[in-house]
Chain A
């Protein structure tokens, strides 16, 4: 690095090591069509899934495009308010802005009738007793506090039903080891069903789909 020669008038001035330049920008977000329809259901204490066509996956909450088809999801299907924990983690960290009492459990919950888990909190059970396969149900805020947000469901709690011990994450249902090499052979695109052409997938891999 070349030496920087300061003019005499600046030689005794303390060097600036950092500056703080706070910036604030305000945004007005719009949820879009699919999310608006989902949130409208929430205000009725209903959990509404959406599909692109009668044979495609039911997404909760739909985010605008079926991610396999790249298509809008006009079909609405009410799903159950009970589901199964497919996986979870116990959080011991006071996460910025969450205001949660620790430890708490954040879980992937596959609602009955939906094809993909939602992430939500598990409460009303000690964190160390939460299990994969546990059946849980939605606990809503008081009616007066229901707003168009998924947080109108405060958390999920155990239903007391027997565990679903065979539960798998959705991708695993459609083929354990789908993204790994079996017998030294790499999977290919045909390992999974192509939702547009119906090609690919086998009884072993993707048979359920």
Chain B
């Protein structure tokens, strides 16, 4: 495949609510930040692709007005996915493989604050059999956590360790929404929110946006000292119905990790899109990460979880750490749908 790299990444500070700005206003600093870091304008971009969803905005065709953020004039080559921005990046990576263009801009955003997020997400469920039950996303995740605990593969203490480590690491992330230093014991002393999940096991609800610039071969090398090369990228899906899946594993993540070539080398860091603490444990297993891999140095989704955006941010966080020399090889993961239904795995690597 053609060598494609992440050469720039920008995100807005994650906040519970950004009431003073509309979506396009919230998004612009991320888009322009990513372009300015590599001294580019939209005129230097061959293809633009974005990820967002109407159900969070509460209005149809919501992505149309946010396209104004890039200034698409004269007209541009552009596409949009009703998916996390990580999949928009996948589409851009495919487009770059064709060899006709050398650069792409990818962006994603969501304001979850206008609606009641767990209730909005119930509209993803089978509209005949499950949707009418209004089974909210946290309760579904709690079912998964219960399965994992009952299987004996993990304990509540393991989950609390994930929470303690993530939120502590988030103290070093200026864009984090939720960061603190508390012990696992302290977390275990919390009451249950939706058992077996405690509030601390759950990602915050976030408004935010992010953007990435991709470039091919020598264009990437000319723009940054150490591009974060995409060595493999793949995504897979499973049925939405929880009864059709073993919730204690993530079969689709395992396939994607295999196709992306995770096992072909040492993994220094991994950013896993796990909105609930137990999901990090499942993903670590599914991807085949060992204890020598640093997981979620940014704090992960437990520190900030802008819908449609958090998956793209995982790729950006790994790429940044490769470009600045903190890591040589890393894995970024993105998820969508209830209980890790759909998963994307990217392997990124720096050149020495």
* A residues at B contact (CB < 8 Å): 19, 21, 23, 25-35, 63-72, 189, 191-192, 194-197, 200
Instruction: Report chain B residues within 8 Å CB of A33.
Output: 20-22, 25
The answer for the CA separation of A197 and B55 in the assembled complex, in Å, is: 37
Give 25 A-B contacts (CB < 8 Å), ordered by A residue: A19-B132, A21-B128, A21-B131, A26-B116, A27-B58, A29-B114, A30-B20, A32-B24, A33-B20, A63-B24, A64-B21, A64-B24, A64-B28, A65-B28, A65-B68, A66-B71, A69-B71, A70-B31, A70-B69, A70-B70, A72-B25, A191-B74, A192-B74, A195-B71, A196-B71
Please provide the chain B residues from 1 to 50 with a CB less than 8 Å away from any CB of chain A in the complex: 19-25, 28, 31-32, 41-43
The answer for the CA separation of A26 and B73 in the assembled complex, in Å, is: 35
- A192 & B73 in contact (Cβ 8 Å cutoff): yes
- A32 & B71 in contact (Cβ 8 Å cutoff): no
Answer whether residue B174 sits at the interface, using C-beta atoms and an 8 A cutoff. Answer: no
B42's nearest neighbour on chain A, judged by CB, is A70
- B68 & A67 in contact (Cβ 8 Å cutoff): yes
Given A26-B116, A64-B68, A194-B74, A34 contacting B123 (CB threshold 8 A):
no
- B43 & A197 in contact (Cβ 8 Å cutoff): yes
- A72 & B28 in contact (Cβ 8 Å cutoff): yes
* B residues at A contact (CB < 8 Å): 19-25, 28, 31-32, 41-43, 55, 58, 65, 68-75, 113-116, 119-120, 123, 127-128, 131-132
Q: Closest 8 interchain pairs by CB?
A: A32-B22, A70-B71, A27-B58, A65-B68, A68-B73, A189-B74, A64-B24, A67-B68
Q: Which of B43, B115, B123 makes the CB contact (< 8 A) with A196?
A: B43
Q: Which of A21, A26, A31 makes the CB contact (< 8 A) with B127?
A: A21
Instruction: Report chain A residues within 8 Å CB of B132.
Output: 19, 21
Given A70-B68, A70-B71, A72-B28, A25 contacting B19 (CB threshold 8 A):
no
CB distance from B110 to the nearest CB of A (A): 13
Given A21-B131, A72-B25, A194-B43, A67 contacting B114 (CB threshold 8 A):
no
The answer for the CA separation of A23 and B131 in the assembled complex, in Å, is: 9
- B123 & A23 in contact (Cβ 8 Å cutoff): yes
The answer for the CA separation of A65 and B32 in the assembled complex, in Å, is: 12
A188's nearest neighbour on chain B, judged by CB, is B74
The answer for the CA separation of A149 and B128 in the assembled complex, in Å, is: 39
Instruction: Report chain A residues within 8 Å CB of B21.
Output: 30, 32-33, 64
- A63 & B65 in contact (Cβ 8 Å cutoff): yes
B114's nearest neighbour on chain A, judged by CB, is A27
Q: List 4 additional A-B contacts (Cβ < 8 Å) besides A25-B58, A32-B22, A63-B24.
A: A28-B114, A32-B24, A63-B65, A67-B68
The answer for the CA separation of A159 and B226 in the assembled complex, in Å, is: 64
Instruction: Report chain A residues within 8 Å CB of B69.
Output: 65, 70
Q: Which of A68, A71, A189, A196 makes the CB contact (< 8 A) with B28?
A: A71
